[in-house]
Amino acid sequence: MQNKLHKCGQWYWREGELKYAEFFELNQEAKELHLLFLKNLKPELLSSNDKAIMLTMKVQSKKFLEL
């Protein structure tokens, strides 16, 4: 899976990303696995959708806050 970002308006989209609605249709175990995947992505590879999912689930990537 490629993790290239595309800009559309003010949003960034990652190739092959899980849509917001699709994420909430997952069972709990699949959600946790996807959140772990997102937490381990480099901050520059997180799409706007990824960030929205993480914010909704109140998950912060350790790398996301690094300076």
Q: Is residue 4 part of a domain?
A: no
Domain that holds residue 41: 27-59
Q: What is the pTM of this model?
A: 0.78
Q: Is residue 66 part of a domain?
A: no
Q: Is residue 31 part of a domain?
A: yes
CB 3 within 8 A of CB 14: yes
65 or 57, which is more confident? 57
Going 9 to 11 to 16 to 22, the CA torsion angle's sign is negative
pLDDT of residue 63: 55
C-alpha span between 61 and 56 (Å, rounded): 13
pLDDT of residue 1: 47
C-alpha span between 4 and 38 (Å, rounded): 14
Closest CA to 11 of 61, 47, 56: 47
Total domains present in the chain: 1
